[in-house]
């Protein structure tokens, strides 16, 4: 199939084969990263480094950035923006409903609730600071990632995909980490611990993204061939505060 290099505005109203599936995958990874990952702290004994502790959510976040890179590279910033907002609303709804479920009184006649309610509270009862920090960091970091990705594609005339994916992730993850941990834990953790966690998580996520570059190349190439387009955000309105293309 011929791949057409088109400005983003030329695709208004066009239907794609895989956009919906990629969008669902992005939102799914986002929900997993916030609902499954944060509840567990893992420890790995790495060669030359020693024991390293990290939140399990770090396994999901870089995958989300890969989805974000693919969306922006193949479908353009405007369509990535719609998915970022979809993820934000999904995360807000999941957070709200988790609070509702926790607040509902457990049935005292059900013995299983004796163990279930405290377990649910341990896993899902995050403080308002952690919830606010997570949502704000996701929103800002993903928009920065998509913006940098789209701008670099225009500047490089579509070359050096590896540079764009890594460069956008450095920017997006930098913003994400600098918002998430200070907003959630400043005044709770010591300054040394706070900066150590920021540094480790930033390096972990960007390294993860760099190692996944061959996979990103493969997915991007497949989607461009099947969709028959290569989108450039030449005249795109980059405001995050809209949903239409």
| Confidence grade of residue 14 (pLDDT, cut at 50, 70, 90) | confident
- Return the pLDDT at 90: 96
139 against 8, higher pLDDT: 139
Among 78, 37, 38, residue whose Cα is nearest residue 235: 78
Render pLDDT for 110-120 as a digit per residue (tens, 0 to 9).
888 888 998 88
Residue 237 maps to a domain: no
Render pLDDT for 25-72 as a digit per residue (tens, 0 to 9).
999 999 988 877 665 667 778 787 778 766 677 778 778 889 999 999
Residue 103 maps to a domain: yes
- Return the pLDDT at 11: 78
Residue 172 maps to a domain: yes
Determine how many CB atoms are found less than 10 A away from the CB of residue 165. 27
Predicted TM-score (pTM) of the model is 0.92
CATH code at position 197: 1.10.1760
Compute the average pLDDT of residues 210-228: 94
Q: Which two tokens stand for residue 168?
A: 């956008």
Our count of domains for the chain comes to: 1
Residue 213 maps to a domain: yes
Range of the domain at 150: 4-232
Compute the average pLDDT of residues 157-180: 95
Q: Which two tokens stand for residue 133?
A: 């920090």
Residue 57 maps to a domain: yes
The answer to which of 9-18, 100-109, 158-167, 226-235 has the lowest mean pLDDT is 9-18
Compute the average pLDDT of residues 152-171: 96
Residue 192 maps to a domain: yes
- Return the pLDDT at 38: 62
CA distance 152 to 161: 9
Average of per-residue pLDDT values in the chain: 89
232 CB-side CA count, 13 A: 14
pLDDT over 70 (residue 1)? no
- Return the pLDDT at 37: 64
3-state secondary structure 107-146: CCCCCHHHHHHHHHHHHHCCCHHHHHHHHHHHHHHHHHHH
Residue 119 maps to a domain: yes
Residue 120 maps to a domain: yes
């Amino acid at each position: 199939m011929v791949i057409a290099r088109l400005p983003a505005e030329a695709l208004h109203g066009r239907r794609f084969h895989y956009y919906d599936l990629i969008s669902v995958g992005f939102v799914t990874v986002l929900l997993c990263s916030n609902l499954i990952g944060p509840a567990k702290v893992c420890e790995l004994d790495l060669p030359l480094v020693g024991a390293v502790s990290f939140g399990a959510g770090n396994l999901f976040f870089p995958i989300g950035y890969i989805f974000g890179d693919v969306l922006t590279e193949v479908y353009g910033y405007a369509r990535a923006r719609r998915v970022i907002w979809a993820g934000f609303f999904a995360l807000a709804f999941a957070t709200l409903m988790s609070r509702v479920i926790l607040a509902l009184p457990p049935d005292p006649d059900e013995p299983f609730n004796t163990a279930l309610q405290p377990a649910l509270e341990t896993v899902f009862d995050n403080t308002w600071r952690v919830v606010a920090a997570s949502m704000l960091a996701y929103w800002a970091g993903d928009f920065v990632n998509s913006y940098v990705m789209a701008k670099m594609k225009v500047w490089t005339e579509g070359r050096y995909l590896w540079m764009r994916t890594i460069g956008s992730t450095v920017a997006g993850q930098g913003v994400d980490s600098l918002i998430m941990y200070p907003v959630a834990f400043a005044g709770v953790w010591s300054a040394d611990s706070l900066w150590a966690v920021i540094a480790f998580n930033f390096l972990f996520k960007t390294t993860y993204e760099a190692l996944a570059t061959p996979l990103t190349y493969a997915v991007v190439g497949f989607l461009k061939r099947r969709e028959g387009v290569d989108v450039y955000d030449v005249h795109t309105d980059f405001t995050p505060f809209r949903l239409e293309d």
